């Protein structure tokens, strides 16, 4: 048995190395695109697999399930969902500057609808992808690497002839880093590449004469043009984008706002979120100008319509939408990509520089391959031309040979021993032949019809063409300007066929200034029924419906329409509600669940007391808990900005049973579940901070608990029901706090 060797290593070092290896694997092999072709591995492998399967732009579509399965089995040993998602995104014209896959079927929508399952959808390569991303793969212009199980070969990078990283952008989250590159206009980027090739000292500012800024497939307006130079120089920054809002005239002098383009960041669930935000603004009475909201978007494009009431302030409303919704949003730029095997944040010029270097590398390898082929053709053509001049001698050699080997030896080295000749002159001439191996093979394989005059003439013309090609390829390989000219010519053809108009407007727009209309301060009545539906109504409406309101609602209180309400719960928390957030309307309006307006959760807690924040500012609040603990707290302690705070400290398994306003002239009566009543003066209740537990108010018997707290003025009769018996509180014997109280016979 072989001795095993134990290597002692610090555990933290092993973890550190393993984590770094994992992080680099995610960065390089999954999340970040390569600066050369602008593709992540999953995208590159999917496109290459479609190329290998022959799913070309002019061929029938093939099932996406076939493409995904083949890619996963041959090149990308990860989940099928990641491959299909990459395939779907490459086919979505609202996400990519130029779509790379021609999808057939349901590939999702701009509003966030997902694509159909891969068994239902079909795809094929887009024409651009086939001609610009995958052309010349047979000319040895990129390195091929073994796949994960070394049964196939896959390209290290695709021979993309345009800066795809800029044109289609990129998004990816790696370990400890993320990339976010906006899309750009194909024609503008090509012009910038040409400008760089003509002058590699060109500045980023000069390049921006060609690349005006991002060009998002959703259009929109970039409003911070002045910030773009710094973004393109450093590769990081924030782009502010707005949707396009148009005003349409309607009958009767009314107008409507139509949003025809949205910020790129609103793709997907953002449209639904925008509509909800507008509804919320209307419900919260932030604006009264919007009469109706409808989403009329279709395959033809985005169309979100906001109908306005007559005389609406359109400019102020538009600014409110920019300020309060995602109609104006920020696109965070971080132009991070893999360059020379490592992640690097690059500016515009650096990306173009890497692209141009890659194009020269591709062109060099391509024309070396083409030159080698032309030189091979030249060798064979010269052999055939020479053979045509001595064709009679060659026929004599072939007829006099016993084998192909003998004939070949004669043609290449002039060996005539095993060949019968008609004359010694022929033998002497044969001994002088010195064809190359390849020429000899071509001569032996030549068909007799090639000896026809026209065929010989065609061969001579072909030879002349080959000589021209060799001279051209050698010039391209040996002369920088010639190679640059070829690359520029190629870019011009691509631009002519595929470039489109810019969709995003780039400008310096004014900051959206929105003046919020001040609510006219007035007293309203807060109503909340036993189901938790709350609303406010005018004081007059309450007076008219007082009887019905009192019988139907659990909580009723007067408050100012600009104020706040404090909601105390059994869990010891206080939730604040802004009165303007409550729906205000008619008495018979349903209202809104209080859960939707505040942090209160009716499934986890129960309301004990509701009061007006301003009215309790100078008052004191009495807190009483199930375990008999009581305290007074200054109302100012609850004047806070937070929506939710801890209103009191509770012991284990305790909860708040009562909160109410108290003054020192009152009498306090504590009533337990088992019917014990304890009366004492309010001055005996200790004043504490909200973070304190309090003092014991009543000594509880075993399994008993505090149920109710009553306050009354000395000298006034106060009766309450306990069970079926009426208890007169002011007749109870006055005692001290922390007693056991007297048992009622109710």
Q: For position 261, which CATH number holds?
A: 3.30.1360.40
As for how many domains the chain has, the answer is 4
> Are 291 and 383 within one domain?
no
From the list 119, 175, 137, 176, the residue with the least C-alpha distance to 47 is 137
Q: Alpha carbon of 420 to those of 108, 410, 416, 425, 427: distances in Å?
A: 78, 12, 8, 12, 9
pLDDT tens digit sequence for 697-712: 999 999 999 999 999 9
> Are 319 and 402 within one domain?
no
Alpha helix locations (H) across 57-154? Answer: 64-74, 80-91, 127-128
Quick check: is 475 in a domain?
yes
> Are 606 and 691 within one domain?
yes
> Are 633 and 595 within one domain?
yes
Q: Alpha carbon of 58 to those of 71, 87, 102, 128, 701: distances in Å?
A: 21, 19, 11, 12, 89
pLDDT band at 103 (very low <50, low <70, confident <90, very high): very high
The residue among 130, 159, 188 that closes a domain is: 159
Q: Given a cut of 60, is residue 211 above it in pLDDT?
A: yes
The residue among 301, 326, 351 that closes a domain is: 326
> Phi and psi at residue 290, in whole multiples of 5°?
-90, 125
pLDDT band at 8 (very low <50, low <70, confident <90, very high): confident
pLDDT at 372: 92
Alpha helix locations (H) across 402-544? Answer: 404-413, 424-431, 437-445, 453-478, 480-498, 539-544
CATH number of 400's domain: 1.10.268.10
Quick check: is 236 in a domain?
no
> Are 590 and 679 within one domain?
yes
Q: Alpha carbon of 701 to those of 221, 581, 629, 678, 742: distances in Å?
A: 72, 45, 14, 13, 12
| Secondary structure E strands in 340-479 | 342-345
Which residue carries 């520089």 as its tokens?
353
Element (H, E) at 172: strand 170-173
Specify whether the CB–CB gap between 610 and 565 falls below 8 A. yes
Quick check: is 666 in a domain?
yes
> Are 251 and 301 within one domain?
yes
pLDDT tens digit sequence for 298-356: 888 899 999 998 888 888 899 999 988 999 999 999 999 999 888 899 999 999 999 99
pLDDT at 191: 96
Higher pLDDT, 282 or 109: 109
Q: Provide the token pair at 47.
A: 């496109």
Lowest mean pLDDT among 434-448, 595-609, 702-716: 434-448
In this structure, the strands spanning 221-222 and 505-506 are parallel
> Are 260 and 383 within one domain?
no
pLDDT at 746: 55
Q: Given a cut of 50, is residue 479 above it in pLDDT?
A: yes
In a 3-state reduction of DSSP, which class is residue 721? strand
Please, which residues bridge with residue 294 across strands? 305
* Integer Cα distance of 238 and 185 in angstroms: 19
Specify whether the CB–CB gap between 687 and 607 falls below 8 A. no
Q: Provide the token pair at 599.
A: 């942090």
From the list 24, 49, 334, the residue with the least C-alpha distance to 169 is 334
* Integer Cα distance of 53 and 48 in angstroms: 9
Q: What range defines the domain where residue 65 resides? A: 39-159
pLDDT at 1: 46
Return the exposure string of 151-188: e unless at least 16 CB atoms fall within 10 Å of the residue's CB, then b: eeebbebbbbbbbbbbbbbbebebeebebbbbbbbbbb
- pLDDT averaged over every residue in the chain: 89
* Integer Cα distance of 407 and 419 in angstroms: 8
Task: Given the residues 11, 19, 61, 120, select the one marked as catalytic.
Answer: 120
Measured between its terminal Cα atoms, the distance across the chain in Å is: 91
Cα 113 from chain centroid (whole Å) = 14
pLDDT tens digit sequence for 381-391: 888 888 888 88
> Are 529 and 470 within one domain?
no
Higher pLDDT, 383 or 632: 632
Quick check: is 172 in a domain?
no
> Are 558 and 639 within one domain?
yes
pLDDT band at 3 (very low <50, low <70, confident <90, very high): low
Burial of 296 (0-12, 13-18, 19+ CB in 10 A): exposed
> Are 293 and 410 within one domain?
no
Quick check: is 200 in a domain?
no
What totals of helices (H) and strands (E) does the chain contain, helices first?
A: 21, 35
Q: Provide the token pair at 194.
A: 């040409």
Q: What is the DSSP string of 175-237?
A: SS-EEEE----HHHHHHHHHHHHH-TT--HHHHTTT--S---TT--EE-BGGGHHHHHHHSEE
Tell me whether residue 367 is one of the annotated catalytic residues.
Answer: no
Quick check: is 73 in a domain?
yes
Q: Model's pTM, two decimal places? A: 0.74
In a 3-state reduction of DSSP, which class is residue 638? helix
Taking residues 416-426, what's their average pLDDT?
82
> Are 680 and 612 within one domain?
yes
Lowest mean pLDDT among 57-66, 512-521, 682-691: 512-521
pLDDT band at 24 (very low <50, low <70, confident <90, very high): low
CATH number of 98's domain: 3.90.199.10
Q: Given a cut of 60, is residue 130 above it in pLDDT?
A: yes
Q: Provide the token pair at 227.
A: 């910030």
> Are 316 and 413 within one domain?
no
pLDDT at 165: 95
The residue among 480, 497, 514 that closes a domain is: 497
Quick check: is 32 in a domain?
no
CATH number of 575's domain: 2.120.10.90
Quick check: is 110 in a domain?
yes
Give CA torsion, residues 5, 10, 11, 16, to 10 deg: -110
DSSP 516: P
């Amino acid at each position: 048995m072989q001795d095993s060797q134990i290597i002692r290593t610090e555990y933290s070092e092993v973890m550190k190395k393993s984590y770094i290896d994992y992080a680099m694997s995610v960065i390089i092999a999954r999340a970040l695109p390569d600066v050369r072709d602008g593709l992540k591995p999953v995208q590159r492998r999917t496109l290459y697999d479609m190329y290998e399967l022959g799913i070309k732009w002019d061929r029938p579509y093939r099932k996406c399930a076939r493409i995904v399965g083949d890619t996963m089995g041959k090149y990308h040993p990860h989940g099928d969902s990641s491959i299909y998602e990459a395939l779907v995104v490459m086919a979505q014209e609202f996400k990519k500057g130029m779509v790379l896959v021609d999808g057939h079927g349901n590939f999702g929508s701009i509003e966030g609808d997902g694509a159909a399952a891969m068994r239902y959808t079909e795809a094929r390569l887009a024409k651009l992808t086939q001609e610009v991303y995958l052309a010349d793969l047979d000319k040895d212009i990129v390195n091929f690497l073994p796949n994960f199980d070394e049964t196939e070969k896959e390209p290290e990078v695709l021979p993309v002839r345009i800066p795809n990283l800029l044109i289609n952008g990129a998004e990816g989250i790696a370990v400890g880093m993320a990339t976010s590159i906006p899309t750009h206009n194909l024609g503008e980027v090509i012009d910038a590449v040409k400008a760089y090739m003509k002058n590699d000292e060109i500045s980023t500012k000069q390049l921006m004469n060609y690349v005006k800024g991002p060009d998002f497939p959703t259009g929109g307006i970039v409003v911070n043009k002045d910030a773009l130079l710094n973004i393109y120089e450093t590769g990081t920054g924030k782009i502010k984008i707005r949707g396009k809002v148009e005003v349409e005239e309607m009958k009767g002098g009314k107008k409507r706002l139509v949003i025809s383009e949205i910020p790129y960041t609103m793709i997907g669930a953002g449209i639904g979120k925008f509509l909800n935000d507008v509804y919320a603004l209307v419900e919260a009475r932030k604006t009264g100008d919007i009469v109706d909201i409808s989403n009329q978007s279709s395959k033809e494009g985005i169309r979100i319509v906001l109908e306005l009431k007559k005389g609406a302030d359109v400019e102020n409303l538009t600014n409110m939408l920019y300020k309060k919704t995602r109609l104006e949003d920020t696109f965070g730029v971080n132009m991070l990509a893999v360059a020379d095997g490592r992640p690097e944040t690059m500016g515009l010029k650096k990306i173009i520089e890497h692209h141009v270097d890659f194009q020269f590398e591709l062109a060099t390898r391509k024309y070396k391959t083409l030159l080698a082929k032309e030189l091979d053709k030249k060798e064979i053509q010269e052999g055939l031309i020479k053979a045509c001049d001595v064709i009679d001698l060659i026929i004599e050699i072939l007829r006099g040979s016993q084998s192909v080997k003998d004939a070949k030896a004669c043609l290449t080295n002039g060996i005539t021993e095993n060949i019968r000749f008609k004359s010694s002159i022929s033998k002497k001439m044969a001994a002088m032949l010195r064809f190359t191996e390849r020429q000899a093979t071509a001569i032996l394989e030549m068909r007799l019809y090639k000896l026809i005059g026209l065929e010989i003439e065609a061969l001579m013309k072909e030879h002349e063409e080959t000589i021209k090609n060799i001279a051209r390829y050698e010039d391209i390989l040996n002369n920088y300007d010639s190679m640059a000219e070829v690359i520029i010519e190629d870019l011009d053809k691509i631009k002519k066929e595929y470039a489109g108009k810019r969709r995003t407007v780039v400008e310096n727009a004014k900051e959206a200034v929105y003046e919020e209309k001040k609510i006219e301060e007035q007293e309203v009545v807060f109503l909340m029924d036993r189901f938790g539906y709350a609303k406010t109504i005018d004081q007059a409406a309450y007076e008219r419906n007082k009887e019905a309101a009192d019988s139907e609602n659990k909580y009723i209180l007067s408050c100012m329409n600009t104020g706040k309400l404090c909601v105390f719960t059994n869990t010891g928390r206080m939730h604040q509600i802004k009165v303007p957030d409550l729906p205000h309307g008619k008495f018979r309006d349903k209202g809104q669940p209080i859960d939707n307006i505040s942090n209160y959760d009716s499934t986890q807690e129960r309301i004990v007391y509701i009061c007006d924040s301003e009215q309790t500012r100078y008052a004191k609040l009495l807190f009483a808990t199930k375990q008999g603990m009581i305290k007074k707290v200054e109302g100012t302690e609850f004047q806070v900005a937070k929506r939710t705070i801890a209103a009191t400290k509770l012991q284990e398994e305790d909860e708040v049973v009562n909160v109410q306003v108290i003054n020192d002239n009152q009498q306090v009566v504590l009533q337990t579940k088992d019917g014990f009543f304890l009366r004492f003066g309010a001055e005996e209740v200790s004043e504490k901070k909200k973070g304190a537990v309090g003092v014991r108010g009543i000594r509880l018997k075993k399994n008993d608990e505090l149920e109710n707290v009553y306050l009354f003025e000395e000298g006034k009769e106060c009766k309450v029901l306990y069970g079926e018996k009426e208890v007169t509180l002011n007749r109870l014997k006055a005692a001290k706090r922390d007693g056991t109280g007297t048992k009622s016979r109710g």
